[in-house]
Structure 1
Amino acid sequence: MTEKNISITKFQLFFFMIQSQIGVGLLSLPNVVQKTANGDGWISTLIAGTAVQIMLVIYLQLLKRFPNLIYTEITQKILGRFLGKLLNLFIYLNFILVGGLVTILFIKIINLWLLPITPGWIISILILTACIYLTISDLRMIARFFVLATSLILLLLFTSFLSWFTPKEIQYILPIGSSGFKNILFGTNNSLLAMLGFEGLLFLFPFIIDNKKGVFKTISMANIFIATFYTFFVFLTLISFSSHQLAQMREPILNLLRGITYIMVDRVDLIFLSIWIVPMSTSIIAYLFLASKSMNVDKKNYPKVVLLNGFIIFFITLIPHNDAIITLFNKYVTYLSYAVVFIIPTLLLILSFLFKKHESSESV
């Protein structure tokens, strides 16, 4: 039976999925998507949400066959001890490198918008100290924090409604589909990268308490929320700025909020970013948790592993990086993520049927 302090409810799973997906990527997504899909970027995010939903179905089919095992245990169950551990090394590297990339982007945004003089290594220490402290806590504590942090996402939604009073031009997205199917698919690729984090289900499923029935509905609702949330903000920025303007903006969402000014409140973008630090941190916490869990350590050694992984991410952030290096780093991490998140689970499901590998499971 799952221990109480490392178990979560389906309600908490919903918010864990949301918080692990929403973070740094949202702020720059409209800029990245419009480079290929132009005014059809909002269609790309909808297609990306559909692709995620398909993968969630594949995940659940795999997890139904191994309801008591996490991702890195399933690999060994199907492929054997040697090949399974070799594959687990790539899974671990993916989570630790994605965590490092997210932290680097986090530091870059803070340096650019809030603390331009503060050295990046100091910001890195402050961020990772808080993230390590929470990740060392039990899973239920992390899930509760994610539930509370989701209220800050509602703040962004509320703030975004204020931007509707600024000039909008629907012509920026017309005619719909003019970018072509190929470019829309390229935009979908960029949207998928911003939505990564849903693979956490492969590690959380065994820790869901009570009956597993209803999990599909829970994760589907979380995915619909994420896809709608991303589409809304991409659409909002696309009708607020021209393609030329978006190309000049690193974080269009913040530029959108920057245009909101009131008599007693100014620089809404900086106020928002100061608060958005928490949701951005949850992505780091999620990947730090997944990296540590992928090492298959016992409860006693788990805190030491989290601390070790925290130091590894910190050292990754110390590597000298400019835009060119970050772009190259992001490119190779993307290839690894696609393998770990999309290809490997699909192959494992196919092999589990071919080799007739499974455990008894509950209905999902």
Structure 2
Amino acid sequence: MITKKTSITKFQLYFFLIQSQIGIGLLSLPNVVQSTAKGDGWISTIVAGVIVQATLLIYWFLFKQFPNQNYAQITKIIFGKYIGKLLNLIIYFYFILTGSLALILFINCINLWLLPLTPLWVLSLVIILASIYLTISELKVIARFFVIASFLLVLLIFLSFFTYSLPKELQFILPIGNSGVKNIIMGSNKSLISMLGFEGVLVIFPFIFDKEKGVLKTVSFANLSVTALYSYFLFLCLISFSPNQLKQVREPVLYLFKALSFKMLDRIDLIFLSSWIVPMTTSIIAYLYLSSKSFSRKEKSFKSIVMLNGIIIFVISILPIDEKMVGQLSKYVTYLSYVVVFLIPVILLALSLVFKTLKRSGNH
């Protein structure tokens, strides 16, 4: 039974989606997009935002048909018990693998920049224990934490203003559209993967308080905010680094801050990264919650499932994975995202509308 006590407000939903989407991907996106879209990478991110908005519209229409069911329940209603269970298993693996990939990238970044002598398993254990501790709480508690964590985005934007004192070259992005439509679309695909997290609404929709109105506006505003933030930092990096530099620099946003120096403060990049640990952790918390909620139906078993999923994500993160294997895991997550985030919801909506039409014609 979903009550006001266990549900979240639309205000909290906004920050839940933002914190699910923004994390480690923001730091490396300019480098990732550079290989295809080059100077038009910021356009690719806007295109990705438009695709996300179209997907959110599909989710909204789907939940108009099933207002009190979540993703896993809808698959069973439409496809039946057995196919529904198979699809839910795919959805579960997607959430687990995405959470594991986020954790691997997170600990690698911390190990490279902040704590090079600390074993990766120690970093992973600390992060996953903190994530489990928060995830076993109610969704309302998680959402409240995400609201507080979002204030660190203000720090990120504030610090970015100081980078305008560094040399900038608009020539790097000119002429606009020079990369071609094909490369911009390919770049938008890479931006889309970095912006994943919005699919969380598929699981938490039934827990939104007063969801009859305003939900589409809230998720759309969250998508607009994330798209604007990603596009802004992509644009900032594109005019700050030459194309060759962007290819070589893995986390351009951190290198942007590294160039800043003040009389009383130095290594702004390390100060920023220390605070950015929180938004990177929220992505893992979100995927740990989503994987557990898509698997567990009963509140009593939820805590046990969270702990089990936390152990699975931890074990995957400490496997001896080199950079090539991380790239391979990223490909698997990308392919799974096409199925779980885009394909299945479209099929569910199409079939639900067909069944509704057949039911109406049968009544006549």
TM range, normalised to the smaller chain?
Answer: over 0.9
CA distance in 2, matches of 1:48, 1:65: 26
The structural deviation recorded for 1:302 is: 0.4
Partner of 2:184: 184
Match of 2:145 in 1: 145
Q: In the comparison of the two structures, how many residue pairs are matched? A: 359
In the other structure, the counterpart of 1:288 is 288
Is 2:285 aligned against 1:323?
A: no
| In structure 2, distance between residues paired with 1:297 and 1:274 | 36
- Report the secondary structure of 1:6's partner residue: coil
Matched, 1:76 2:76: yes
Aligned to 2:151, the other structure's residue is in SS state helix
Cα deviation for residue 209 of structure 1 reads: 1.1
- Structural mapping, 1:48-87, within 5 Å: 48-87=48-87
Deviation readout 1:195-236 (Å, 9 max, x if unpaired): 000001111111111242011111111110000000000000
Once the 2 structures are TM-superposed, how far is the Cα of residue 47 of structure 1 from its aligned partner? 0.2
Q: Which runs of 4+ in 1 moved over 4 A?
A: none
Task: Give the distance between the partners of 2:234 and 2:338, measured in 1 at CA.
Answer: 23
Contact 2:296 2:305 (8 Å CA) reproduced: no
1:167 aligns with 2:170: no
Shifted more, 277-286 versus 327-336: the winner is 327-336
- In 2: Cα distance, 1:82 partner to 1:65 partner: 22
**Gap regions ≥5 residues in structure 2:** 359-364
- What TM-score, normalized to structure 2? 0.97
Tell me if the contact between 1:5 and 1:139 (Cα under 8 Å) persists in the aligned partners.
Answer: no
AA aligned to 1:32 is V
Which residue identity lines up with residue 252 of structure 2 in the other structure? P
- Please say if 1:19 is aligned against 2:6: no
Question: Aligned residue for 2:258?
Answer: 258
Q: Is residue 18–residue 222 contact of structure 2 (8 Å, CA) maintained in 1? A: yes
Amino acid at match of 2:319: I
The corresponding residue for 1:8 is 8
Letter in structure 1 aligned against 2:179: S
What is the letter of the counterpart of residue 237 of structure 2? Answer: T
What is aligned with 1:268? 268
User: What is the match of residue 362 of structure 2?
Assistant: none
Q: Percent identity?
A: 59
Matched, 1:96 2:108: no
Q: One-letter code of the match for 2:140?
A: R
Letter in 1 for 2:54: I
Distance across 1 between alignment mates of 2:357 and 2:206: 17
Q: Secondary structure at the match of 1:193?
A: helix
Alignment map for 1:123-272 (pairs within 5 Å): 123-272=123-272
8 Å CA contact retained: 1:5, 1:138? no
Q: Quick one: which amino acid aligns to residue 277 of structure 1?
A: I
In the alignment, residue 190 of structure 1 is paired with which amino acid?
Answer: K
Indicate the SS of the match to 2:155. helix
Distance of 1:312 and 1:237 partners within structure 2: 36
For 1:357 and 1:331, locate their aligned partners in 2 and report how far apart those are by CA, in whole Å: 38
Is the partner of 1:355 in helix, strand or coil? helix
**Whole-Å Cα distance in 2 between the matches of residues 90 and 247 of structure 1?**
34
Q: Distance in 2 between matches of 1:73 and 1:332?
A: 25
Deviations along 1:279-331, one digit per CA (max 9) or x if unpaired, are 00000000000000001320111000000000000110121111111001111
Q: Secondary structure at the match of 1:320?
A: coil
Deviations 1:51-94 (A, max 9, x none): 00000000000011000000000000000011100100000000
Distance 1:357 1:291, change over 3 A: farther
Aligned ranges for residues 301-320 of structure 1 at < 5 Å?
Answer: 301-320=301-320
**CA drift at 1:260:** 0.6
Amino acid in structure 2 at the alignment position of 1:140 = K
After TM superposition, the structure 1 = structure 2 runs for residues 313-352 of structure 1, keeping only pairs within 5 Å, are 313-352=313-352
* C-alpha contact (below 8 Å) 2:107/2:123 kept by paired residues: yes
How many angstroms apart in 1 are the aligned matches of 2:192 and 2:291?
Answer: 20
The one-letter code of the counterpart of 1:17 is L
The structural deviation recorded for 1:354 is 1.4
RMSD of Structure 2 on Structure 1 (CA): 1.3
- Deviation string for 1:322-349 (max 9, x for gaps)? 1111001111111011110001100110
